[in-house]
Chains A and B, each alone.
Chain A
Amino acid sequence: MEYYSPTELNEAYALLSKYGDAAIPVAGNTFFMGHREELFDEVEAVVNIKKLGLSYIKIEDDTLKIGATTTLNELFNHEITSSGDYKIFAETVNELNINEVRNMATIGGEVCIAGEVDMPTTLLAYDANIIIGGSNGTRSVSMQDFHLGYLNTALETGEMVVEVQLPKPIENARGGFSKFERTAADLPIVNVAVRLALENDGTCKEARVSVGAATLAGVPKRSIAAEEILVNQKIDEALIEKAAVASNDVECINDFRASSELRALWVKCGVEDALKKAIAQG
């Protein structure tokens, strides 16, 4: 197993192309080292992408841009992502109770895992775009299209995630995040992120309800039924309850961590909780 620590993007792309699927880009190390025994026979080259200058949080052209190797605690502490339009990032990170992992894990890694993690659920609710880099340049894929299935992404051989972009939320937008887990160190059983855009009179102009960790698909899914109930309505407790019940259009997985029935119940509770958090932000 070879180790590379390139300092130029092109150098990194060349290595990823050369080794193909036997190369793994790493930054925070947490996924790779946590799975090193399974990955040992598959991986021939470990490419450390931390020295490529991809750790940043900035707003350019009304778009929030987060570099792939930005750690979760950097998101938690940065002014842009802990207040105002984007404070949902700090709220999402706050639900991961292991400080040690927050100091290492990166947003690019969370996006690429395509499994039971928190950040992609929030990114789906915020209509994020994933910027993928490769020898032939960069391309943008929506969060929704980036995840093809459990542990399966739109990345092709020789490519890696370089940035996460969020369009500016519509005015008066507010978000909420809710999560169920067994212990701090375990993977989430259910996580829910919502984003609401409200008119001045309180009417909901746009709604996103995104459910992760619990889905049969293995990756975050939007509850279209819950969103339809919220749009063009004034949001009160009764409507929140109705939307929460409607979120059972997201099919839940049945595994050793929780049954599909329990998950469906927790999805309902999570949607209710996240919507209440979003409304309380006003």
Chain B
Amino acid sequence: MNSINLKINGEDCPVDVKTHWSLAYVIREKIGLTGTKTGCEMGTCGSCTILMDGKPVFSCLRMAVDAEGHEWTTIEGIEGDDELHPLQQTFIDDHGMQCGYCTPGMIIAAKALLEENPEPTESEVRKAIAGHLCRCGTYVRIVKSIMNAAEIARS
């Protein structure tokens, strides 16, 4: 076991981890933040995406033991005081989901995109979520949700 201190959503989370444990596993099973989902656990579905210092990474492909010293943001950390993040709100309003399993990863990837590029084109949005699978096939509404959130964030 290796003792580490993870900084997740601004809070310190001391935890003991084994070398081969993924960050996704630790976040869900040891820290209890189950908003982050695990699907394929081999970097092809995108549902475990979280932000490392503001940049999206797959938490299933990240060794937890190597996660110290960064600011991590999960889906639980993006809403404001009693108010949903514009992306969360538009995903509800525009029905950007069916089963909802891919949604946390989609929203995190979209958040990273909008911080870098507040006025994305549709093809830029599609490129930003290229590594994310939605098995319900809700892509059209997901793209619409992200485009609308961008507009709300700008206004």
Contacts and interface: CB of A to CB of B under 8 A. Distances in A.
B57 A100 contact: yes
A88 to B, nearest CB: 20
A50 interface: yes
Nearest to A185: B44
A100 B20 contact: no
Interface string A32-54: 11101000100000101010000
Q: Is the interface of B mostly helix, strand, loop or mixed?
A: mixed
B30 to A, nearest CB: 16
Contacts of B56: 99-100, 103
Interface string B97-125: 00000000000010010000000000000
Interface residues of B, number: 29
Given A3-B2, A5-B66, A99-B131, A29 B61 contact: yes
Contacts of A26: 63, 66
B66 A50 contact: yes
B58 interface: yes
Contacts of B128: 99
Interface string B132-147: 0100000000000000
B52 interface: yes
A110 to B, nearest CB: 14
Contact of A100 (B18, B22, B46, B66): B46
A104 B63 contact: no
A104 B58 contact: yes
B61 A97 contact: no
A30 interface: yes
B127 interface: yes
Nearest to A28: B61
A238 interface: no
Interface in B59-90: 60-63, 65-66
A280 interface: no
B43 interface: yes
A91 B66 CA distance: 29
Given A29-B61, A99-B130, A184-B131, 18 more contacts: A1-B20, A2-B19, A26-B66, A29-B63, A30-B43, A30-B61, A33-B60, A33-B61, A46-B20, A97-B127, A97-B131, A99-B131, A100-B57, A101-B58, A103-B52, A103-B56, A104-B57, A104-B62
